[in-house]
Structure 1
């Protein structure tokens, strides 16, 4: 039986604070300021957060600096949305609750406990306000946190829930990458006319014409689809300009009468803008509301099939999603069905491009509405059926994987939400949680039980083994002509491999050698040495100094099957293909520029050499890099190009 303690949050945490109550002025450059409205579904949405000056940022953080493993909570309006900060935050907070965690373990527990029905009820009882609900800071400080007396039980429960969340996050990040790959190909073929422009620049090899995105044999079948030059109209010769409305069938939506109860709560999904998927999700796997057959038959709502693109046209305009199956939608949206020869995935990506154009025409501000005339006012290049068909065949597997990941995430979230209240209340013990029947969870994915209890969700021992495999495989992948691989190259290789594999990079810090995880380098590299997978020796450099380096050791053969076990094969091959034998200086430049590039993108800033140098210079540990020969403008520009090719 679990024995429980109840501790006030002010004692459970190192402190409980709130964000600034002031209103710092918006700035063209600086750091982001977030409020409760940026918390949604246990995620932090920084897209619409505005920038404040560095001085205002520092002033706010004197009172309420957010650090790794702290827990944020919304205090005003929608009270109780929570977020666990797992990284090194670069934002300030306003009118939000901040639980300063004493440790990662306590931060994780508090994060999950605040999501339990018991905690939500307690928080609701402490709210004030009539027109707008809020919870006072004093009530947050006195908030009772229920926690198992045994720390091992507390951490086991948190670890199980974290494993589910980690897999959800991995799938989400994978989907973002897959969607961006599809969008990049769409832009290259149908917006930038890349294959034609590369031929105009002198490219004759099919692989080069296709931007090195395909194997030579595939590129040879694709390159002939693209004209060799642009016409006077700026389009590839032989292509014509077509209004978007000529490519789609536009379907209007409807809403059954809300006062007729038998029209609602059926099994037909009914989409509204609140159901729009986040970036990378693409598909609308669930809707807040559903309707019955009677509701469909007695309203202007229309059923659309799987693969239909739906776009919000009024209210919050320009949100798009794709139907994973038959569904309906309200009158504030349009459904877009492809007309031959274009396919449904082309229409989804073209619709996203249409929204970007509308934003540009509105100079970045919100455009008020989309009408049928909007679809006729914007046009796309007509490429011809062979090109459209080839495009659909190439991106269909990407969308299929996105859909499968989304369905799995829905199942994982339902599993987590089923377990969370039962674990937090002590209704079931951890060993019972491992035999929860999947029949309790909607739409199980194949082999889910095996994955849940096996290697897909790793124990601490398995994580240590996997990370040691990453170190050993990195040494082998980077080694050329049996030369030693220096420690800095190993760490840069580990960073790039984990980035490629979409694994957590939270331990990496801005240190002199670039993105560097000190614990990973010393503890996990040590673990790989202890297993005799790698060995460290020293070589004499040109100056006569003995420099440590790494090479595969006597038991490296044990690593090969483990690479397959942890699904690292493609990432290891990718690392060897792009960085085998490369210098420490080049790998440091690529990894450093990658971190700076991601930070600029998170802040919504343009990725330019000047902005990358400014980002590097903003950190005292990194500023000296700019004096090195491998951080010239030319090398930074080359690194940006390389990153564009490999990620």
Structure 2
């Protein structure tokens, strides 16, 4: 039995070797994505071949939102960096322990700048098992400990090639993959439902606070003038109400419509806005807390103190992933606060699911009405404005407290903000329930895999635990 640094007491009959040895004997490889000199900023286009970047890497798959794309001819020029079914892609910098498995949907995409590709040329079962193995908490910890760089961890092909790997029998591998896949598919399904729910809430926010549909309706009904930039939308809404088809949405209740003005005014910074909504800034409408690094000696992974988030590296679909805790927090975010990345990439958002400590890479905002949903959807809509700050700063992009608080924003009444909050709360509550279910499932997955690999838990016991978890519906 060969020694395995990560799992010294692995089950009898299992094989231990390095990831580099496994890749070589299978005819695969471990290689970096293209360097910046091979792919310039000007090569990216709005529609083309997707290029997987570090921000697109997730344990549960490739994140498609805002994925970079390149021209087909550039993809062919860089064909050696294409990914195919069963490949595993890592980030070379920053959040280096996360990796994603390439599915049929991503076959032929590019392993982008800042990434590493692991290719095991074997049947898909082994590829799926290797991805599950690489997502094991102890394996991820090994990657972090061996990464180079104190400030920004860096990964290279030599480090990944030396990573110890365990290979069970085909029968055991099959059942481990089934357990991993069953839980992962449920997590993916919950995430897809959450994305749909969030899109519904975003659509309502856009209608009320971006397109100003209820204000347009009130303005038309009152016979007040419609500003030229809004005239086309006003005409469409008039036609929609006049048509009165089955697809025509129901009008807002009278008590809700009364919360919206019936005329517009021009704001120097925001343009045409509902009367009374202009002339405000983020610092006037929101509680703003800028993160601060606590003492390094207070960091821990044992759960001592409050959850600690340093930057967007911990961000999940809506809520951040807990990895570190802090026993001496300096700056706190209250539950429901929107967490925004204030260092490049500036503008990415998540929501605090509980009171937590935030580091220098984040700020926490909460509308002064304490409406978490309104805060989250408004900050998310300001993403283009935040991206301007990616080029600010001497070393990397950032936004400071002064610039954040001075950003112009609309100022609807607190009564209207609370009305919006009540309207989207059923959607947000379901998102919270499914997200908490995903957290429980991910924890179960992370608990079962180590015990299976160490021989502490037998497959029938693991299968029973998964079945019980899947039968438990979220509250």
TM-score w.r.t. length of structure 2: 0.72
How far 1:376 sits from its partner (Å)?
3.1
Residues 99, 80 of structure 1: alpha-carbon distance in 2 compared, 3 angstrom cutoff: farther
Q: Are 1:308 and 2:337 counterparts? A: yes
Decide whether aligned partners of structure 1 residues 16 and 42 sit closer, same or farther in structure 2, where only a CA change above 3 A counts: farther
- The answer (yes or no) to whether the contact 1:17–1:64 under 8 Å persists in 2 is no
Structure 2 SS opposite 1:235:
strand
Gapped runs of 5+ residues in structure 2? 1-10, 221-233
Please identify, of 102-111 and 390-399, the stretch whose mean Cα deviation from structure 2 is larger.
102-111
Q: What's the counterpart of residue 15 of structure 1?
A: 28
Larger radius of gyration: 1
Residue 409 of structure 1 aligns with which residue?
438
Structure 1 pair 408/371, CA: closer, same or farther in 2 (3 Å)? same
Check if 1:191 corresponds to 2:210. yes
- SS across alignment from 1:216: coil
* 2:130 matched residue in structure 1: 110
The structure-2 alpha-carbon separation of the partners of 1:13 and 1:207, relative to structure 1 and needing over 3 Å to count, comes to farther
- Whether 1:201 aligns to 2:214 is no
- 2-structure distance, mates of 1:416, 1:52: 35
Per-residue deviation, residues 230-288 of structure 1 (Å, max 9, x unmatched): 346622356554333222233455444445789x963323332246523x41x346252
Q: 1:48 to 1:408 in 2, by over 3 A?
A: same
For the residue of structure 2 that corresponds to 1:336, the secondary structure is strand
1:9-408 → structure 2 map (5 Å cutoff): 9-10=22-23, 13=26, 15-16=28-29, 18=31, 23-26=37-40, 27-29=43-45, 30-34=48-52, 39=57, 41=59, 43-44=61-62, 51-61=69-79, 63-73=80-90, 81-89=98-106, 90-93=108-111, 96-116=116-136, 134-136=156-158, 140=161, 146-149=166-169, 151-197=170-216, 199=220, 200-201=234-235, 203=237, 216=250, 222-231=256-265, 234-237=272-275, 239-259=277-297, 266-274=304-312, 276-278=314-316, 280-281=317-318, 283-284=319-320, 286=322, 288-291=324-327, 295-296=328-329, 301-314=330-343, 317-330=346-359, 333-340=362-369, 343-359=371-387, 368-380=398-410, 382-408=411-437
Q: Partners in 2 of 1:144 and 1:260 — Cα distance?
A: 31
State how far apart, in whole Å, the 2-side matches of 1:212 and 1:361 are: 45
47 and 122 in structure 1: CA distance in 2 versus 1, 3 angstrom threshold? same
Within 1, Cα distance between the matches of 2:311 and 2:445? 25
CA contact (8 A) 2:336 2:354 kept: yes
Decide whether the 8 Å contact of 1:206 with 1:219 is kept in 2.
no
Preserved CA contact (<8 Å) 2:346 2:386: no
3-state secondary structure, aligned to 2:382: helix
CA distance in 2, matches of 1:374, 1:126: 37
Following superposition, the deviation at residue 176 of structure 1 comes to 2.6
Cα offset for 1:406?
2.0
Q: Structure 1 residues 84 and 364 mapped into 2: Cα distance closer, same or farther (>3 Å)?
A: farther
Structure 2 distance, partners of 1:364, 1:208, is 49
Alignment of 1:225-624 (within 5 A): 225-231=259-265, 234-237=272-275, 239-259=277-297, 266-274=304-312, 276-278=314-316, 280-281=317-318, 283-284=319-320, 286=322, 288-291=324-327, 295-296=328-329, 301-314=330-343, 317-330=346-359, 333-340=362-369, 343-359=371-387, 368-380=398-410, 382-436=411-465, 450-452=468-470, 454=471
Change (3 A) 1:276 1:177: farther
| Number of aligned residue pairs | 428
Q: Distance in 2 between matches of 1:39 and 1:98?
A: 14
RMSD after superposition: 4.5
**What is the CA distance between 1:38 and its match in structure 2?**
5.6
CA distance in 1, matches of 2:389, 2:147: 43
Separation in structure 1 between the aligned mates of residue 141 and residue 291 of structure 2, nearest angstrom: 37
Displacement, 1:180?
A: 2.8
Q: 1:223 to 1:2 in 2, by over 3 A?
A: farther
**Matches of 1:163 and 1:412 in 2, distance apart?**
10
State the match for 1:582 in structure 2: none
Any idea what the Cα deviations from partners look like across 1:512-556, whole Å, max 9, x if unmatched?
A: xxxxxxxxxxxxxxxxxxxxxxxxxxxxxxxxxxxxxxxxxxxxx
Secondary structure at the counterpart of residue 311 of structure 1: strand
Does the CA contact (< 8 Å) of 1:42 and 1:81 recur in 2? no
> Displacement of 1:170 after TM fit?
1.9
Sort the Cα spacing of 1:207 and 1:98 in 2 relative to 1 into closer, same or farther, 3 A: farther
- Partners of 1:221 and 1:367 in 2: CA distance: 45
> Using a 3 Å threshold, how does the CA distance of structure 1 residues 210 and 363 change in structure 2: closer, same or farther?
farther
Q: Taking CA–CA contacts closer than 8 Å with sequence separation of 6 or more, which of the two structures ends up with the larger relative contact order? A: 2
Query: Using the alignment, how far apart are the partners of 1:197 and 1:107 within structure 2?
Result: 55
1:470 aligned partner: none
How big is each residue's C-alpha offset from its partner over 1:581-631, in whole Å with a ceiling of 9 and x where there is no partner? xxxxxxxxxxxxxxxxxxxxxxxxxxxxxxxxxxxxxxxxxxxxxxxxxxx
Matched, 1:4 2:14: yes
Answer yes or no: is the 8 Å Cα contact 1:209–1:223 preserved in 2. no
Contact 1:309 1:322 in 2 (8 A): yes
CA distance in 1, matches of 2:207, 2:57: 34
C-alpha separation between the residues in 2 aligned to 1:369 and 1:347?
A: 18
Instruction: Report the Cα offset of residue 183 of structure 1.
Output: 2.4
Task: Report how far residue 21 of structure 1 moved.
Answer: 5.6
